[in-house]
Amino acid sequence: MSKSACFSAKIDLKLADKLKDALLEQGFEISKPPYTLFSGKKKGISCTLYESGKLTVQGKEMDAFIEFYLEPEILKEFRFSHPEANLNLTPRIGLDEAGKGDFFGPLCIAGLYADEQGIRELLNLGVRDSKRFSDESILKLAKKIRPAFAYTVIRLFPAKYNELYAKFKNLNRLLAWAHTAALADLSQKTGCKQAILDQFANKLVVEKQMQQKKLDVVLEQRVRGEEDLVVAGASILARAAFLEGLEQLGQEYSAVLPKGAASHVKDTARTLIAKFGPEVLPKIAKVHFKTALEL
């Protein structure tokens, strides 16, 4: 089973002095970067406590530090060293999306179903929130997940996305419609009536769509839902679908389409408009973004 290259957790700031003293005793050099209470470093490992209470540990020597000090003394749980001990094995569908903050490329919604055996397999694959992986790792993991699990991916390329956005006039309503469609399809294929969604809006937005579709599924909408293993698997499938869709669009227009919505994205858009005309924009980008008005 692979583990994350960077471990993070939230701790009570009352434990900050205890942690700092322990780091000094263990030979860490202490510094205070911006927005931190302190950061400790020694060969092969660094440990940083932020003002928010977020704690990060990374480095090739971090495993023993986490298992033999951080978990028993600070965290009082063993999610890193023994994740199987905290594993929720209830068969369920996980839902997540990718691409909603990217000017270029599709919006992708993914649903993934896993039973008890499948949940253990996701753990063995090292699945976790897609934001913690490189694009290359996302694509490799997705290739392992797709043949082994029941899943549904809805990929809305810009032309269709812009058409739907004009209809819904609100991104959250569009997302609710797409998530409900993915959930309905996967529930029908698997018979599963339990699902978890990485919450993106007021819960009523999705509940209304489910009522309209008469979808009989118990859906939990959870902030930071990607912490759930099955939702994390869905997040990987959604991100892979976005990356592959972005690449496909780029090949179609002989261009490298950047992710995000920053200034270099506008530069690429201006270049493509100069080459293909303004009518190209709705085919490659989400035109309701502020970015489109700044071109």
What are the tokens at 146?
Answer: 């797709």
Per-residue pLDDT at 199: 92
Per-residue pLDDT at 87: 78
Cα separations in angstroms, 78 against 232, 238, 281: 19, 29, 49
Per-residue pLDDT at 295: 86
In 3D space, the residue among 237, 265, 235 whose CA is nearest the CA of residue 250 turns out to be: 265
Per-residue pLDDT at 84: 60
Task: List the beta strands (DSSP E) in 26-101.
Answer: 29-31, 36-42, 45-50, 54-58, 92-98
The model's pLDDT over 27-63, given as tens digits with 9 standing for 90+, comes to: 999 999 999 999 999 999 999 999 999 999 999 999 8
Per-residue pLDDT at 133: 83
Reduce the DSSP state of residue 267 to 3 states and report it: helix
Percent of the chain with pLDDT strictly greater than 90? 81
Indicate the fold that domain 6-85 takes in CATH: TATA-Binding Protein (3.30.310)
Query: What residues in the chain have per-residue pLDDT under 70?
Result: 1-4, 81-86
Q: Judge if 6-85 and 92-248 fold alike in CATH terms.
A: no
Reduce the DSSP state of residue 288 to 3 states and report it: coil
Q: How far apart are CA 61 and CA 42, in angstroms?
A: 10
The model's pLDDT over 54-106, given as tens digits with 9 standing for 90+, comes to: 999 999 999 899 989 998 899 887 777 666 656 788 999 999 999 999 999 99
Per-residue pLDDT at 48: 97
Indicate the fold that domain 92-248 takes in CATH: Nucleotidyltransferase; domain 5 (3.30.420)
